[in-house]
Structure 1
Amino acid sequence: MRLIVSLFPSGRRLPADIGELLSDVLVRDGVPLNLYCGRRGVCGKCFVEILSGEVPPGDESERDLAREKNLGLGRHRLACRLRVQGDLVVRVPEQALIPRARILTRGRGREIPLDPMVRKVAVRSVRPDLQSPRALLDGLKAGLGLSALRVVPEALFEAAGVLSEALESDSPVTAVLGAGDELRGVERGNTSSRLFGLAVDLGTTTVAADLVDLGTGTVIKTAGGLNGQSVFGADVVSRITAAFKDMSRAAALRAAVLASINGLILELSRESGVDPGEIYETVVAGNTAMSHLFLGLPVDGLAVAPFAGVFTAAPPLPADRTGLKINPLGRVYLSPNLQSFVGGDVAAGLVATDLAARPGNVLFVDLGTNGELVLKTDRTMMSTSTAAGPAFEAASISCGLPAEDGAVERAVLRDDGTIVLETIGGGPARGVCGTGLVDLIAAFLRRGDLAPDGRILRLEKRLAAAPDLFLTASDIREFQLAAAAVKTGIRMLLEAAALNIEDLNEILVAGAFGARLDVENAAAVGLLPRLPGDRVKFVGNTSLEGARALLLSSRERLRAESLPRVIRHLPLAQNEAFQNIFIKELPFKPWPPDEAPQAPRKEDS
C-alpha cells in the first residue's frame, strides 16, 4: 500500500512506501534536504516537524540532538532516521535545507599563453572537377592547406551535408579543428569568432564554471551553485560510502552532479547569449572521488587501503559520452589526479600558482574536508592528504553554516572583553562559517574561556558567541581534530624533506576557506605555522583558475600531465608516526612556539 507524505504549507503530496526513510521520500521529490552526515543521524541537520500522523519516539541520541537545537521533543524528528509507517503531514524548515553558499570563483591570476586545444578556421573548399574528382573532405583539406586531416567519425555525417550545400551556394564553411588537425565538425558560413570553452571547478560542496572565449581568452560569464550530490552527504567519505558496491547509488550520484553542471551551462547560456552548441571544449577539475563519480567510474578502490583510483590522467572524452550538454562533438578533459586522494583540483591549483617554478621551499595547502598538501623544495616535490573532516566548512558544527548571509565570518576580541561579530550580508548572526569558527576559538583562547587542550573553562559547558549562538565541547573537538590533522600532515612533509618550519619561503593557501581566513588567528589556534612578513599568501580558487589555464593552453596541459610523474606521494594512513604526532598536535598552540609570551591581539574599543 502506498502512503502519502504531504508537505506543509505547499500541499505537495509525495508517495511513499511503508518503512521507507522520510529523507528518501523528500529527496526523491527534489527537496534539497541537508543530509550532511550521509543519513547516519549524527549531524542533526535534517530535523523536520511532523504536523500530523503517528510517529514512534526517537532514540536517546536523537533526543539529545533535538535538545541541543531547542526543538520540541514530541513532533521534531530526523528525516534520515524516521521510517514512514502511515500518512504524514510534514513541515520542512529552512534550517533543514541545503543552504545557498557564497562561492569563490576567482584566483589571483597569472598570464597564460593562448593556445587552446580547439580552433576554428573559415575556408572555402576546393571544388571537385572532371580532372580531379576529389571527395568533399579532400576538398576541405586542400582549402585548409593541410597535408592530412583526421576526421572524427561523428563529424563525417555532419560534414557531408554542410560541404555539399556550401559548394552549391559557393559559400564558406568553418572547420572546427582539434589537436593534430582532428576535424571535429563543419559549420555553415563563417563562425570563426564563435568558439567557446568551459572551465569547471567540481568541488565536493559547490560547483563553479567560467564560460571562456577561446579566441581571446576572455571570461564571458561565471556561474556557481551547490553540488547536487550534497543530498548524499556533505563530505567525500559520505559520497564514496554511498556509491561503494552500489551501482544504483553511484548512478544517482553521477546524475546529480551532471544536473548541477548542466544547470550552470544553461544559466551561462541564457545570460551570455552563447548557445551550448558553440562550446567545444570543457575542462573539469575536481578531487579524485569527484572526477570518478562524474564519469560514473567505481570508487570502490578509494574506500579501502591503499586508496587507489581507476585512473590518474584520462584522455579527452567526447562530450556526448560524459553527459555534458555542450556540442556533442566537443571534448571534455579532466585535470589529472596526482595520487590517491590528491586529485585534479590540486593539480589545477599547482598549474594556477606555477608552484614548480616558484623559488625556494613552498607549501601549497588546500583546506577542505580532505586537507591536501604539496611541498615543493629545490630538490623535490611531495604531496599528501589528511582527513581533516568538515569542520573548516563548519558543516559538522552544531551552529555551523556555509558562507551565506547571516553566517559569522569574523570575530574580534575587544579591550573590554566583548566579542564583536561580523556576518556575511551584515544581518543578524544565524550561525558560524569556517573562518568565523577560527576567529571565535582564537578569541575564546585569548579571553581565557578555553584551555589550550580544548577544555571549556566556564561553568556552563558551552561558549556564547551571541545570545542564541553557542559553541559546544563537541564543536571545539571537531575543530581540534581537523587542525591537528593538517598540522600533522605539514610536519610529516617537512620531516620527509629534512626541513624546519622556518625554512618555508611561502605558504600558499587555496580555496574559499583560505580566502577569508585571518592569518594571525589561524596561527594563534595552531592551524597554520607562524612565519614572518608576507610568507603566507591566499591564492583564491586555484582549482577554477587552473582549469581555465588547462582550457586555454596546450602547454599547461602537458605540464599538468607531468605532475604525477614528478611528485612523490607520502601516504599517512599506514605511517606509524602519524598517530603519535597527531596526538601531540591536538592542543591549540602556536608553532613554532613563542620564545616569550605575546600580548593578545585585540581591537581598540
Structure 2
Amino acid sequence: MFKVTFKFENSEDVSVFAAFGENLLEVARKTNVAIDAPCSGNASCGKCRVKLVGGTLDSKKTRHISDEEYAQGWRLACVSKICDNVEVLVPDIASAYRSRMKVADLSSPDEIKIFDDLKGQVCEAGIALKNDMEVVSIKMDVPSLDDTMPDNERLTRAITEATGMQIVRIPYAVMKKLAVVLRESNFDVQVVWRKNANDVFVYDVLPKDKPAVVAGLAVDIGTTTVSAIIINMLDGSILAKGSSGNGQIRYGADVINRIIESVKPGGSERLQKAVIEETINPLIDTMCRQAKISHNSIYRMSVASNTTMNHLLFGLNGDSIRTEPYIPTFFKTNSMYTADIGIKTNPCAHIIVAPNIGSYVGGDITAGAFVSMLWNKPEFSLFIDLGTNGEIVFGNSDFMFSCACSAGPAFEGGDISCGMRATDGAIEACTIDKETMEPTFTVVGGEGTKPIGLCGSGIIDVIAELFRCGIISPKGKFIREGARVRHDQYGIGSYVLAFEKDAGSVKDVEINEVDIDNFIRAKGAIFSAIRTMLSYCDFDVSMIEHVYVAGGIGSGINMKNAVRIGMFPDVPLELYEYIGNSSLVGAYAMLYSSEAERKVYEVAKNMTYLELSAITSYMDEFVGACFLPHTDASLFPSITE
C-alpha cells in the first residue's frame, strides 16, 4: 500500500492509502476529493489536471498536457496510476468550478425581480398565491390528577376544537418533543400545521413566546449547478438565495455517465451523497446563516430537476432511463420526506417534486414551462432551457410538445478547457475588434475581478465574435494569425482572451478549436431539435411568435450572437426573451402556492413528449447544424446579409 496525499491551495491536506496500480482519479473519488472530470475519466476533456509535487506516478502523456507542463509536474488524474508514495496538488483554477458556492445579495433588485414578476403573472392567470401552512396559537388545560388525558390526545382535542377536523396527524418528530414543550410553555403553544380537506398534519409545536418562522426550501438540481432559495411560507418573501456546483460532476458531466456510475457497486450511494451531503446540505447551512433561521424552521421542500437527477437524489436505479424503451421509476411522486434521504430540514418536511414528462424531459422543464406562461397564451411560443440537456417546449394554450437533446455541459462551462459556471471570475460578455483582434470583456464579480474562465453566455459571445471577425471559419478552425492566435504542438489553434499575467488563474485564459468544436455540436443539438420538433408538428420557424430562453448560463444571452452562430432560429430579435433560471422560479411557485403546484401537474399532463432518437430526420438536421451558422445559409438570411 502507498500513501497518497492530496494537497490544496486553501485547505488542509487529505491523505489516504492506495494499492499499486490504482487509478488516481478513482482514489480521489473514494476519498471524496473533488477533481473535476466531465468526461468521467475517459481522458477526453483534459480537466482532471493535478500537479505532482512529491513521489512518482505512472502517468502517460496526453495531448492535454504540453511538454513544458509535463516537465513542471502536471498530470491528468484519470490516466495516472499509483506506483509509489505520492503528493499531488489539486489546483483551485477554473476547472475546479464545482466547489464554488455563491450566495445572492438580496438587496439587489436583479436577484429577486424574476420572482416578483412571476407573482404578477400568476395572479393574472387566476392562480392564488397561498398555501395550506399556518401558525396558530393553541391553549390547553393544564393536566391534573382530575384530568389525566395524555399529551397527544390533549393536543388533538384542542386542534379539533379549533378546526373542526376529526383527524389530526402528529408525526414522531413532534411526539418526541411534545412533553417538554407543553410543560415549558404551561400548555400554551404555537402549532405549525397543514390543514387539508380531510385532516390536519402537525409539523411542529413551539413555545408561545418563541417567534415562529415557517420557511420553505425550493431547489433546482441541475446536472452541473444546484440553485436554491429559502422563503417565508406565510408571505412568499425570499429569505436567502444561493447556488453551488453539483458535487456529482466528478462522476461525469452528463447524465449518461452518472447513470453508468450509479449502477456500479455502491455507485448509487456515492452519487446521492455527492448531491445531498456535499452540495444541498452545505448550501442549506449557508443560506440558513444568511437568513438567520434554524434548519428546523424549514417545513417544506420543492424540487425541480431532470429525470435522472430526480432518481439520483432519491437513490433510485436509473439504468432503465438510458436504455430502450427509456422507462424511469417515476414521473411524479408525492410520498417523499426530507428525513428519508438525509436533507437538513425539519424532519417532517414533505418534498414536492415537479413531475417529469419523459426520460430526458424532467420536472425542471415542467416548472420552467409553467413560468413562461405559454400554456396560458394563444400565441405559438418556444421555450428553450439551456443546460447539460437542451430541453424544448413548443405550443400554446391549446397544445404543447416537448423534447430533449444531449447538448452536453458546454452551456454551463463543461467540455470547454477554460469553462466555468457563472461565478466570480467568469467572462460573461465579450466583443473583439475586427482589425486588431483585441478582446473587450466583462467579468462576473465586477470591476477589478480578474478573469479565470468563460461561462455559457461568454462562450456564445466569444465564438460569435471570432466568426464575425473572420478569425475562425464556419467549421470553427482558425484562419487568421496574430498575437492572440497560436497553435500547439499538435497543430490545434487557440485564441487567448487573457494572458497569465492579467488572469486570475495559473495559466492563460484561452479557447481552442476543440472547445469550439464541442460548442458547435452543443448549439447544433439545440437548433436541430427545434427544427425537428417544429417539422413534426407541421410548423416552420416563421410561425414562432415568442421565444423564451431559460438557464443560468450568465447574466443573460446576447440573442443576436446566439442567432449568428446558428443556435437559435433567425427570427426577429424582439421575439426573444431571456427569463433566467425558470426551473428555480417554478419550484418557488410550487412551494408557495398550492394552486400553482396543481397547475404544474396539469401542465405536465397536457404535454406530449417526443423522443428525438425515434425521429429519423433528427440526425440529418444535427449534421447540418454543426457548422457556423449552418450548412444551409438560407436558414439565416440576416446573418448572410
Task: Answer yes or no: is 1:89 the counterpart of 2:111.
Answer: no
State the shift of 1:370 in Å: 0.4
Find the aligned partners of 1:443 and 1:403 in 2 and give their Cα distance: 20
Task: Answer yes or no: is 1:307 the counterpart of 2:326.
Answer: yes
Q: State the aligned residue count.
A: 593
Match of 2:51 among 49, 52, 64: 49
- 1:462 is matched with 493
Q: Secondary structure at the match of 2:62?
A: helix
State the shift of 1:141 in Å: 3.3
Task: Answer yes or no: is 1:257 the counterpart of 2:278.
Answer: no
Task: Answer yes or no: is 1:431 the counterpart of 2:471.
Answer: no
User: In terms of mean alpha carbon deviation, does 423-432 or 28-37 score higher?
Assistant: 423-432
State the shift of 1:223 in Å: 2.2
Q: Secondary structure at the match of 1:404?
A: coil
Find the aligned partners of 1:414 and 1:202 in 2 and give their Cα distance: 38
State the shift of 1:557 in Å: 1.0
Task: Answer yes or no: is 1:115 the counterpart of 2:130.
Answer: yes
Find the aligned partners of 1:235 and 1:311 in 2 and give their Cα distance: 20
Q: Secondary structure at the match of 2:65?
A: helix
Find the aligned partners of 1:312 and 1:359 in 2 and give their Cα distance: 27
- Indicate conservation of the 8 Å contact 2:224/2:409, yes or no: no
- Indicate conservation of the 8 Å contact 1:4/1:14, yes or no: yes
What's the TM-score once normalised by structure 1's chain length?
Answer: 0.90
Task: Answer yes or no: is 1:584 the counterpart of 2:624.
Answer: yes
State the shift of 1:57 in Å: 4.5
Q: Secondary structure at the match of 1:262?
A: helix
- 1:602 is matched with none
Find the aligned partners of 1:217 and 1:202 in 2 and give their Cα distance: 21
- Indicate conservation of the 8 Å contact 1:207/1:224, yes or no: yes
In the TM superposition, 1:558-573 aligns within 5 A as 558-573=598-613
1:207-257 Cα distance to aligned partner (Å, 9 max, x none): 2221111111111111222222122122222211211x2251110110111
Find the aligned partners of 1:580 and 1:274 in 2 and give their Cα distance: 54
Matched letter for residue 622 of structure 2 = F
Q: Secondary structure at the match of 1:352?
A: helix
1:73-94 Cα distance to aligned partner (Å, 9 max, x none): 5733211221212111222222
Find the aligned partners of 1:597 and 1:114 in 2 and give their Cα distance: 44
Find the aligned partners of 2:638 and 2:594 in 1 and give their Cα distance: 52
Q: Secondary structure at the match of 2:332?
A: coil
Over 3 Å counting, the alpha-carbon distance change for 1:558 and 1:175 in structure 2 is: same
Matched letter for residue 7 of structure 1 = K
Find the aligned partners of 1:335 and 1:4 in 2 and give their Cα distance: 43
- 1:593 is matched with 635
- 2:423 is matched with 404
- Indicate conservation of the 8 Å contact 1:211/1:222, yes or no: yes
In the TM superposition, 1:160-559 aligns within 5 A as 161=179, 165=183, 169=186, 171-180=188-197, 181-190=199-208, 193-243=212-262, 245-259=263-277, 260-377=279-396, 379-414=398-433, 416-424=435-443, 425=445, 426=447, 427-458=449-480, 462-466=493-497, 468-513=508-553, 515-559=555-599
Q: Secondary structure at the match of 1:399?
A: coil
Find the aligned partners of 2:639 and 2:340 in 1 and give their Cα distance: 61
Over 3 Å counting, the alpha-carbon distance change for 1:568 and 1:296 in structure 2 is: same
Find the aligned partners of 2:431 and 2:456 in 1 and give their Cα distance: 15
Matched letter for residue 124 of structure 1 = K
- Indicate conservation of the 8 Å contact 1:174/1:192, yes or no: no
- 1:3 is matched with 3
Find the aligned partners of 1:146 and 1:162 in 2 and give their Cα distance: 26
- Indicate conservation of the 8 Å contact 1:530/1:592, yes or no: no
- Indicate conservation of the 8 Å contact 2:159/2:168, yes or no: no
State the shift of 1:186 in Å: 4.6
Over 3 Å counting, the alpha-carbon distance change for 1:553 and 1:98 in structure 2 is: same
- 1:603 is matched with none
Over 3 Å counting, the alpha-carbon distance change for 1:289 and 1:128 in structure 2 is: same
Q: CA RMSD in A?
A: 2.9
Task: Answer yes or no: is 1:71 the counterpart of 2:73.
Answer: no
User: In terms of mean alpha carbon deviation, does 29-38 or 274-283 score higher?
Assistant: 29-38
Question: Percent identity of the aligned residues?
Answer: 27
Over 3 Å counting, the alpha-carbon distance change for 1:278 and 1:583 in structure 2 is: same
Q: Secondary structure at the match of 2:201?
A: strand
Matched letter for residue 183 of structure 2 = E
- Indicate conservation of the 8 Å contact 1:155/1:183, yes or no: no
What's the TM-score once normalised by structure 2's chain length?
Answer: 0.85
- Indicate conservation of the 8 Å contact 1:394/1:432, yes or no: yes
